[in-house]
Structure 1
Amino acid sequence: MRTLYTEDQIAQRIDEMAKEIARDLPADFLMAPVLTGAFVFAADLLRALYRHNSDPYVDFIQLSSYGGSRSSSGVVTLLKDFSIDLTGKTVLLVDDVLDTGRSLHFGKGMILDRGAVEVKTCVFVKKQTGHAEDISCDYIGFDAKADDFLIGYGMDDDGRKRGVPLLGAG
C-alpha cells in the first residue's frame, strides 16, 4: 500500500473543512454521512465542527454501488433510509469518495425530493475520473488519481483495512 495522505495531513485538512462548513451552513443543519465508507471521516469531521462551534444533527443513510467489487456496478441501491423528516432542512451529505458521482447524485436527489431546502455535498477524497453523473462537490478534502484503489480511513478492500489511520492506495 502506498501512502497518499498521512494522519497529520488528514487532521489538518478536516479542521480546515470544518471551519469552512461551520461558517457557511446554518446552525441547525443536518449532517448525513453515507455508510459505510464515510463513517470514519464523518466522526472526525463532526468533532472538528464542534470545535468550530457547530453542532449539527446527524442521521445516516447507506448507499451501495460497489457491492464488494473494486469498481462501481453503475446502479445505486438504498440500503438504509433516513430516520427523520428532511422537510425544510439544510443537509450536508458526507461521503468518502467521489468517483463516478452516482451515489452523491442519487443521495442529493433523494434528499431534495424529501423536502430539504438545500443540500451541500462533502467528500473526503475526489478521484480524478470522469463522472458518470453531473455532480459538483461543495467541500473536498483531497484528490486521488483515477486508477488509485483507495484503502484506509474508512475505505475498505472487501470489508478489511477500514481502520488504517491514513489514506493509502493499493
Structure 2
Amino acid sequence: MADPRPAHGTVLLTEAEVAARVADLARRIAPRIDDDTVAAVLLTGGIWFAADLTRALAREGRTVRFDALWLSSYGDDKTSRGRIEVRAPFQREMRGRRVLILDDVFDTGLSLAEAARLAGEAGASEVLTCVFARKPWPEPRAIAPDFVGWEAPARYLVGYGLDSAGALRGLPDIRALD
C-alpha cells in the first residue's frame, strides 16, 4: 500500500495559514513596541519568520531595527544537546532599547532563554520574546514566550524555517515528517 502522505510529510499549516498567523502576531505586537525596538532573530531557523514578521510589522506602522543572534543547541540532530553554543553575537547596540527576540519554534526553551539573557546583559531596557510555533513540553521551562503564533503538536516539523538536518527549511508551509 502506498504512503498517503505527500512527499516531505503531511501539511499541518498551509502557506496562507502561516501568513494569517504572522499578520495576527504583528497586530498584537505593534502596540507593545516602537520604531527604536531591535527585532533580533535567532539564526538560522528564525530567518523566514523574522522576514515575514518585520514586513507585517511595517504594515502595522512599526519599522523596527534588525539584528541576529546565532545560537546552536541541535546541530543536525533531532534532539537538543542540552547546551547552547553562541556562534555569532548581537551586532547592534542594545543598551536602553526594547529588544524583540524572534524564533521559529519554542521546544526546550533553551535558545530563547539564552537569547533573552544575552539581550538583558547587553543593556536592553525590556526584552520581549516571540515564536512562531510552541511545542508542548513535558516539564516547566525557564521562560515562556510573550507572543506565540501557533500551538504546534509534539511532532517532527519541517518547513517555514524548521529543518531536518538543514533540509526542507524553504517549504512555504509547515509539515510533519512523522
Give the AA of the match of 1:4: L
Cα pair distance change 1:100/1:132, threshold 3 Å: farther
In the TM superposition, structure 1's runs of 4+ consecutive aligned residues that sit over 6 Å from their partners are none
Q: Distance in 2 between matches of 1:131 and 1:113?
A: 27
- Residue pair 1:104, 1:121 contacting (<8 A) in 2 also: yes
Compare CA radii of gyration and give the structure with the larger one. Answer: 2
Look up the SS of the partner of 2:132 in the other structure.
strand
Aligned position for 2:167 = 160
Aligned position for 2:112 = 104
Aligned position for 1:36 = 44
Give the AA of the match of 2:31: R
List runs of 5+ in structure 1 lacking aligned partners.
none
Aligned position for 1:140 = 148
- Residue pair 1:129, 1:145 contacting (<8 A) in 2 also: no
CA deviation string 1:91-140 (max 9, x = no partner): 00000110000001111011101110100000010001135631111110
TM-score, L = length of structure 1: 0.96
TM-score, L = length of structure 2: 0.92
RMSD: 1.0
Could you tell me how far 1:167 is from its partner in structure 2? 0.6
List runs of 5+ in structure 2 lacking aligned partners.
1-8
- Residue pair 2:30, 2:62 contacting (<8 A) in 1 also: yes
Aligned length: 169
